Amino acid sequence: MEPSTNKPAPRRVVSLLPSATEHFAALVSAAARLGHTSLPELVGRSHECDFPTSYASIPTLTKPRTTFTSCEDTHNQVVNLLQSDDSLYEIDAVTLTNLAPDLILVHVCNVCSIDRPTVSCAMASNPNTEILLVNSRTLANALEDSVRLLGKALHLEDAAEAVVAANRVRQTALTVTTQTIRRPIVYIVEWMEPLFLAKGWADEMVALVGGQAPVTTGRIADPSVLEPPDLIVVALCGLDRHTTVKELRSKPFPSWWRSSPAVQAGTRHVFVVDGNQMFNRPTNRLLDAMEWLGVVVANPHHFNSIPGFPVDAFDSDAAAPPILSEIEAAIVAAHAAACAANQARYSDPATGYGVFTSAYLLDRQACCGNRCRHCPYGHANVPLEQLHLIKSKNTMASSVFLRPPKPSATGRLGYRNPKPVKGAVPRDVVVVFWSGGK
């Protein structure tokens, strides 16, 4: 949407897109340097608008309907919400209306931020508020087009040109002009499961600093058909380094990762970058990421040479869980599919026997003591002399609810009846709780 040039300059602005918030800050700063005395004010923001930090006290107007647990589970949450035609975000319509903004900045993508129809519905009582779509796909979109679009909407065209000129100078300085015999293949991973490789401006950045992006980017159905990476940069969208490392360590690495030259070359060819701040936001900070990328493409051992850049080298060998055998991997996949389909059991890939799912066992609220493969109760009622027969003993990872087991003389498959206490109230409830393994 092109901003209107007939309206007066907006004074009160709400940004519901992190990249637009950063562009707004850059424009206001440039306008102040140019001598503008009447500047627009940011009066509301999204929950993801965390930069510049000076905006932290501004009211937050959105919150997500998904919760990050793992890449795979979060992806499924997103798919399920979108299939139900529901927005991934909630908006505080009352506060938004009371703020009375002249201009609201939103994005085209309904996954990255709150969608325009939801915002339009929230502002139905104030149709005079302009809603501006700010969307970037390429490096030029991010560093020039979006800046000019917002500059025009804010009546700060001269400030926009100043920002664009500075971006061009820096981009030119970071661009590698010498040709090498072989450019290293660089994967910028923005999601692990399913695998998404960053595309658009990320591909351009890799090429400009002397690297080569794989032929196919975006969602990758079969990584085995791609050129193996010499360098892996994991910048998971919206996640900081700590959360990213935790995600990487949660599962065995896929075969494309383990066999890649980047991993075989050692820890200095795999890097974890703060994906909430770098690579995923189409703003001037792409140039910060581009500067760092140029350093590691030229020499991965210098990855930490730019002060303040949010990066860690990642040791794949030290972090990787044990690699599953083919049959173990098939069992994991079959169990996950059965749980997702709310099935009580699945067919064992090796024997064909039916196996109860952990979801079904949780609903049953009882440990039967029969050494179930996916027992969510830590095999609480398995007799002590049979525990050694369990190939992989499950441990409780969270609190669970169990129905009181029947009294048992031995206490092995139930609980021992306590000695009667004079004057005690008859026991109707047995509480079983998880103590964190202590």
CA–CA separation, 244 and 226 (whole Å): 23
CA–CA separation, 272 and 287 (whole Å): 18
Residues 6+ apart with CB under 8 A from 18: 46, 48, 49, 50, 51, 113, 281
Identify the pLDDT of residue 341.
84
Query: Could you tell me which residue, 389 or 209, shows the higher pLDDT?
Result: 209
**Which phi and psi (to 5°) does residue 77 adopt?**
-60, -45
Q: For the residues 210-230, what does the mean pLDDT come to?
A: 91
Q: How confident is the model at residue 396 (pLDDT cuts 50, 70, 90)?
A: low
269-273, 306-310, 398-402, 410-414: range with lowest mean pLDDT: 410-414
The residues of the chain that CATH labels 3.40.50.1980 are: 12-171, 180-319
- pTM equals 0.71
* Cβ burial 73-93 (10 Å sphere, 16+ → b, else e): ebbebbeebeeeeebbbebbb
* Among the listed residues 124, 115, 117, 64, the one whose alpha carbon sits nearest the alpha carbon of residue 96: 124
CA–CA separation, 231 and 313 (whole Å): 11
pLDDT tens sequence across 128-164:
899 999 989 999 999 999 999 999 999 999 999 999 9
119 pLDDT exceeds 60?
Answer: yes
Query: Beta partners for 62?
Result: 91
Pairing of strands 89-91, 103-106: unpaired
Q: How far is CA 60 from CA 47, 55, 186, 205, 276, in A?
A: 6, 10, 36, 32, 17
Pairing of strands 196-197, 186-191: antiparallel
Superfamily of domain 12-171: Nitrogenase molybdenum iron protein domain (3.40.50.1980)
Q: How confident is the model at residue 7 (pLDDT cuts 50, 70, 90)?
A: low
| 207 and 213 Cβ atoms separated by less than 8 Å | yes
> Which helix (H) or strand (E) is 147 found in, with range?
helix 146-153
Q: How confident is the model at residue 98 (pLDDT cuts 50, 70, 90)?
A: very high
Q: How confident is the model at residue 87 (pLDDT cuts 50, 70, 90)?
A: confident
pLDDT tens sequence across 22-48:
999 999 999 999 999 889 999 999 999
**DSSP-assigned states of every residue in 195-212:** TEE--THHHHHHHHTT-B
225 pLDDT exceeds 50?
Answer: yes
Q: How confident is the model at residue 388 (pLDDT cuts 50, 70, 90)?
A: low
3-state secondary structure of 148: helix
| 87 and 115 Cβ atoms separated by less than 8 Å | yes
3-state secondary structure of 185: strand
Measured in whole angstroms, how far is the alpha carbon of residue 230 from the centre of its chain? 24
| 68 and 242 Cβ atoms separated by less than 8 Å | no
User: CATH number for the 180-319 domain, one of 3.40.50.1980, 3.40.50.1100, 3.40.718.10, 3.40.50.12280?
Assistant: 3.40.50.1980
